[in-house]
Structure formats: structure tokens, C-alpha cells
Structure 1
Amino acid sequence: MDNQYWVQAAPFRALAGRLIELSGLPWPILASYAGVQPAVLQHLLYGRDGRTSGRIPSDCARRLLELDESQLVRLGRVHRGVAR
């Protein structure tokens, strides 16, 4: 695949980790909400065969950037059964 379809993974790994920490959502729920294949987010966060990913598909990166933190926090509260 051409490099124009890939972006550096590190900033998006940090973003995904922050969104998970902020919202309290498990990564599969975050992947679903973002419209990213769970395997992509799993490999981004945890690597594969002991190696972290150096790149991520640009469409997945864009979807992570489009997430709204406040909506994720609310979704996390609902997911945990906590009222406001």
C-alpha cells in the first residue's frame, strides 16, 4: 500500500490511550464508537508479536481525531451505569 494511506502511529496511540483513560471505556467499545476495526485499535495500543505498530491507516487516524471527548465521557458513564 502506498505511504500516503498511512500516518505515524505514536500520536494516535497516545490519543487512544488518553480517550480510554478519560472515558473509562474498554478499547473494543472505543473502536466501535470510532468506527475503527477492533484489530486496528488493539494492534495500535498493544502491538503485535511484542512490537508496537509504527503506522496506522489514515482513515482510522481521522476517525480517532473526530471523536468528541465529552461524548465519550458520557458514554463511559452510561457504560459503567453511573448517572451524570
Structure 2
Amino acid sequence: MAILASDIETLIRDAFPNAQVTVQGDDGAHFAAEVIDESFRGKNRVQQQRAVYAALKGKMDGANGELHALALTTKVPE
């Protein structure tokens, strides 16, 4: 089952309601996302990305995951 960019954006926004979120991709499996959120301040890049992946609620889990690939960029607001 394919997933939509809007579905990914909704999952991320649910976990990071004040974030600036951009999700691109339209093939149903490969996407790029940028998440800019104050909650990332003081966290290293791995911690930031783990928080976003957790927000995806298993959509990337193994062979049964709906989301095959996500190029993820996380940042703290300037």
C-alpha cells in the first residue's frame, strides 16, 4: 500500500505541532522531508532524526513498512 506525502506530513505535524515541515515525493515509496523545530535544540542530528522516525509510527518498519525511503533533514530554527 502506497503512502502519500500528506500522510507523512500529518504524522510529523502530530508529533511536532510547531515545526516547519516540508515533505516531497510522489511515487508512494520514496520521499524527502525537512523538519525545523525548536525541540531539536541541544540534540545531536541522530537524536533529532530518531524523534522524527518515531513520529512515523512504524511506517518505515522493515519489508512491511509503507514508506521505503525517507531522505530526512532536521534543523533548529535560526
Please say whether Structure 1 and Structure 2 have the same fold, judged by a TM-score greater than 0.5.
no
**Bigger Rg, which one:** 1
Higher-helix-fraction structure: 1
Higher strand share: 2
TM norm structure 2: 0.28
User: Greater relative contact order (Cα 8 A, min sep 6): structure 1 or 2?
Assistant: 1
